[in-house]
Amino acid sequence: MSHPHPELGPPPALPEGGLRIVALGGLGEIGRNMAVFEYEGRLLIVDCGVLFPEPDQPGVDLILPDFEYIRHRLDDVEAVVLTHAHEDHIGAVPYLLRERRDIPLIGSRLTLALIEAKLTEHRIQPTKVEVVEGERQVFGPFDCEFLAVNHSIPDALAVAIRTPAGIVLHTGDFRMDQLPSDGRLTDLGGFARLGTEGVDLLMSDSTNAEVPGFVTSEREIAPVIDEVIRTSEQRVIVASFASHVHRIQQVMDAAARHGRKVALVGRSMVRNMGVARDLGYLKVPPGLIVDARDIEEWPPEDVVLVCTGSQGEPMAALSRMANRDHPIRIAEGDTVLLASSLVPGNETAVNKVINGLTRWGARVVHKGNAKVHVSGHAAAGELLYVLNLTRPSNFMPVHGEWRHLRAHAKLAALTGVPDDHIVIAEDGVVVDLVDGRAKIVGAVHAGYVYVDGSSVGEITDTSLKDRRILGDEGFISVVVVVDSSTGKLTAGPEIHARGSGIDPQQFEGFIPQIQRALEEKAADGVVDMQEIRRVVRRTVGRWVSDTYRRRPMIIPVVLEV
């Protein structure tokens, strides 16, 4: 197997007739999926998604791929192929189109409708090219064939990219549900046909590579949802991803059977389900949906609320309900159904929401105590099936953390792909497909770009480190006034502390130590303000560490007279 190396340098020029693949996200992480293909100086992008922040990234709203690798080559981009409309595949598109607005977006009907609704909020009118499964379209040197795949959102696609360098099959996110609720199967016949033609590189979804067997069918969830709604004596509140049309359809069907009205709560939920309904992907009986603002007029036993917040997002509707910060108040006897998977890293936030809901008397039904979710990603048995169908000459696992990528690589080896034809890459690693062989040839920068409010890329890792210190340890500011010509202390020090847990009175006995340290520096003829700030920071930091075993942020303020 080819493994990335921490000392990989910049890649050489792409050999004539070769195809270059650079993932700017989605390798070694769950989310931020984005792959750039290059042939003869032209670029094709597959997906452009976001990553959601973890608890150690305070204040961050979204994490984008770093576009620096393609920023000076945006005019070379032929198109962006969007495999489906989940945020980890389309969420960064508005930020890419800010840099070049006329990049064509290629995708299925629902995918393009959902991204267009999102782009409207960014005041961007996209250039769209709608495709369907079984169709082939040419974008510059890239001949793209689109194949149906089953996923937890309708209209998902895989894409086979043909160039003179060979055929690359990118599965996107997929599973092999044999009884999908919408009747749309993963095109295994198409995969097999490509295998017969010759797949030079398979790039396949690795999210569930560690899970044995086959994923349960979506249809098995419907009876559980029906039972929850049937047996609940008061309101039912269902939290789901705002894009999970199949799951919302199951909820609406169950609500209609048991004579309940449905209210959609949350901007993204209302927007996405409106689009799905208008396009016919969501079947809504007349009179079923009522406005969430009128929900209090209905008896609790006649109501189902569908909202966002299944991942414990702080500003989502469910989290606000748990914190009593939402117009909808959780009451004794309500039932809350978390009808989605748990994204890795969100466990603490979700458990906090569950505890908050339970505190107000709600019964919480979730994946841990009921069969209320099935994964949208193929398990190991399905991945083996695809590997055997396509018989790729080279294999590159994508979409997953390191453990998922390595597990998927082992599956490929079991099916006969030679070890030296299996490429395990990470974000920024450059893979060239030349003369039928895929090899790692270098690396480019592919760091995180943080979105914080209206700022994009202004927050750095250093900024986040400072935020973590402030959140964990607080800060101490020390104000001193010195003579600019002699460096002697003329006033202060004055000490202020916030969140440090230190009694302000304790600083009174410590102030002479700061004064002595500054007097010694002045005696040595030190008048440089930066050096004086360092003396203050070191002196205070050492005392706090020795006395309290804490490391707050120390902010020295030196005024000159």
| 3-state per-residue secondary structure call for 107-150 | ECHHHHHHHHHHHHHCCCCCEEEECCCCCEEEECCEEEEEEECE
375 labelled ligand-binding: yes
> Quick check: 133 and 150 in contact, CB under 8 A?
no
86 labelled ligand-binding: yes
Integer Cα distance of 192 and 435 in angstroms: 23
Integer Cα distance of 378 and 158 in angstroms: 13
Residues 6+ apart with CB under 8 A from 463: none
Integer Cα distance of 54 and 56 in angstroms: 5
456 labelled ligand-binding: no
366 labelled ligand-binding: no
The partner residues of 158 in beta bridges, in order of sequence, read 147
Beta strands in 181-241 (DSSP E): 201-205, 236-239
Query: What is the Cβ-side half-sphere exposure of residue 231, based on CA atoms within 13 angstroms?
Result: 10
The partner residues of 430 in beta bridges, in order of sequence, read 22, 442
Integer Cα distance of 69 and 444 in angstroms: 7
436 labelled ligand-binding: no
404 labelled ligand-binding: no
463 labelled ligand-binding: no
Integer Cα distance of 160 and 136 in angstroms: 9
* 380-390 and 402-414 helices, crossing angle to 10°: 50
Integer Cα distance of 270 and 286 in angstroms: 17
461 labelled ligand-binding: no
151 labelled ligand-binding: yes
Residues 6+ apart with CB under 8 A from 431: 20, 21, 22, 396, 423, 425, 438, 439, 440, 441
Provide the annotated active-site residues.
Answer: 205, 377
The tokens describing 52, both together, are 């959601």
Burial class (CB in 10 A: 0-12, 13-18, 19+), 335: buried
66 labelled ligand-binding: no
- Which of 231, 219, 222, 240 shows the shortest CA–CA distance to 260? 231
The partner residues of 35 in beta bridges, in order of sequence, read 23, 46
242 labelled ligand-binding: yes
421 labelled ligand-binding: no
84 labelled ligand-binding: yes
428 labelled ligand-binding: no
3-state SS, residue 279: coil
The residue type of 317 is A
Beta strands in 228-302 (DSSP E): 236-239, 261-265
Binding residues for Ca(2+): 59, 61, 452
Binding residues for substrate: 242-244, 373-377
Binding residues for Zn(2+): 84, 86, 88-89, 151, 173, 399
Binding residues: 59, 61, 84, 86, 88-89, 151, 173, 242-244, 373-377, 399, 452
